Amino acid sequence: MVKFYSTQNISRFKFLFVMSDLVIYLGIMLIISLITGANVFVKDVHWELSGVNLIWSLIFLLPAFYFILSINNLYEINIILTRSAHAMAVIKSLFYFLPLIILLNVMFLHLNFLSLALLVLSFILAFIAVFYVFRVEMLRRFYLMLKKTGFKKNVLIVGDGSSGKILATKLAFENTFGIKIIGFIDDNKNLGEEIIKGKKVLGNVSELNKVVKDYQVDEIIIADDTSEYEQLLNLLDVCKKTKARVKFTSNLFKIIPEKIFTEKYADIPVVNVSPSADRSLMIKTKYIFDRVVSFIGLIIISPGLILIAILVKLSSRGPVLYKQVRIGKDGKPFMFFKFRTMKSIENDNDAERKEMMINFMKGIESNGDNNKVINSDRVTGIGKILRKSSLDELPQLFNVLKGDMSLVGPRPCLPYEYEYLDCWQKRRFRVLPGCTGMWQVAGRSKVTFNDSIVMDLYYINNLSPWLDLQLLIKTIPVMLFGRGGD
């Protein structure tokens, strides 16, 4: 299971843990300074928590510190409340962070081997001691104490699906999360009708805003098992217009908790779909990040691009680059680039592949495999390697520079594919298409077409620089080991 974390709409308990982690981080740095500055074990250690080192540690390591804790799910409530899972996530974070400590030495400190060894050892001891005692033991108990007062949240369930009923029933008997179920919103039930013991229908969807205000609802959980995709997404749009945080649990979107680590309430996965605080700022940040990274990336990998181009040219007759019209943001066409991996034919109108792709989109299995469609007979020898490692996608960095694509986002589709999409599926074209994305990392060719759309929609809803960075980092092992490639 791929693990991602979104920084959107941080609730009160998460804000407490973020702030406490800042204190923990500074405490760790102080302990390291005291140990290494004492020069007890190694005479050549001169690193102390001076003003300059403190500034560098805050600028360089603090964002990385938060990012590492995030991707190891240390801000998820079910991890925080489980001592063993919490402790294991702390230890995993430590091993993620150690290479950065060594990199910091190379860049700024220039310690000798013994001094670096002492620095790393002191960091490990300080990290485990401070983190375990302060976070795993003290903060966890502090939260359990406060959940009855300051961290108590009023939750409204939209829909009376089985998952919603089970969730409400479980929380009524084994609630360690400080959650109070206020009631239900349902268009198919009468006002005041009891769904489970003591929990009644408070109104219909059109009255959602009023119910949220009247009952001071902190969080909405959509638990609708009967709707179609379009209905559920429209319901999601309505819920996101309120001031409450929004989460959902639905069989239609079961691919999300199957492929992506999500929070759990009483062992039931709930997916955060709360709107971003400032989406326009995130999009602008993403725009700048894409162009800077793609420009630097093209310079760095240019020798590799030249080598691949030569190999493609030698593998079979035809051009080095494969150019194709694809559909991008808002349904607009653009010219898409990649290295050619298949044998060129005079009439590149592959009717067989088109039919297979349409069947795949409709959920009709082909040869027992309802996954990514490809005519393997036409793939060249070097093409197989390029496709398996996704190196054939590298020319798309030029698309990013042109502004047609982003580094991360939903994949662009062919014009005929766009024509066959349902309205809810076209929601994925609200943002620029990407070179890599959620389903490429989490599922790649091992998911159905609808599942890939759902994962793209999840990405769009949770759009943030943090999520993009996670996906880019997780794309590297996918390329190196060819997991799920074709």
Distant-in-sequence contacts of 93-100, Cβ < 8 A, 24+ apart: 93/68, 93/69, 94/124, 94/127, 94/128, 94/131, 96/68, 96/71, 96/72, 97/64, 97/65, 97/68, 97/123, 97/127, 98/123, 98/124, 100/61, 100/64
Whether the pTM exceeds 0.75: the reply is no
Helices (H) then strands (E): counts for the chain: 19, 12
User: Three-state DSSP class for 181?
Assistant: strand
3-class secondary structure, 265: strand
**pLDDT tens track of the chain, all 486 residues?**
554 444 343 466 677 777 777 777 777 767 666 665 544 444 444 444 445 555 665 666 677 777 788 878 787 777 877 777 888 888 888 777 777 767 766 665 566 666 667 667 767 776 777 777 777 777 777 766 666 555 678 889 987 667 777 878 877 766 666 788 888 998 888 888 888 888 888 988 989 999 999 998 988 998 877 678 888 888 888 998 888 889 888 878 888 887 777 778 777 888 888 766 567 778 888 889 999 999 999 999 999 999 999 999 998 888 999 999 999 999 999 999 999 998 876 555 566 677 777 777 766 554 444 445 566 677 888 988 888 888 999 999 999 999 999 999 998 999 988 988 888 999 999 999 999 988 778 765 567 788 888 889 888 888 877 788 888 888 877 776 655 444
- CATH 3.40.50.720 domain range(s) in the chain: 153-272
Strands 245-248 and 199-203: unpaired
Residues 189-226: tens digit of each pLDDT: 888 888 888 888 898 898 999 999 999 898 899 887 76
Give dist(CA 165, CA 324) in Å, integer: 49
How does pLDDT run across 29-64, given as a tens digit for each residue?
A: 676 666 655 444 444 444 444 455 556 656 666 777
Q: How far apart are CA 185 and CA 479, in angstroms?
A: 45
Residue 407 and residue 472 in contact, taking contact as beta carbons nearer than 8 Å: yes
Chain-centroid distance of CA 190 in Å reads: 39
At the topology level, CATH places domain 153-272 in Rossmann fold (3.40.50)
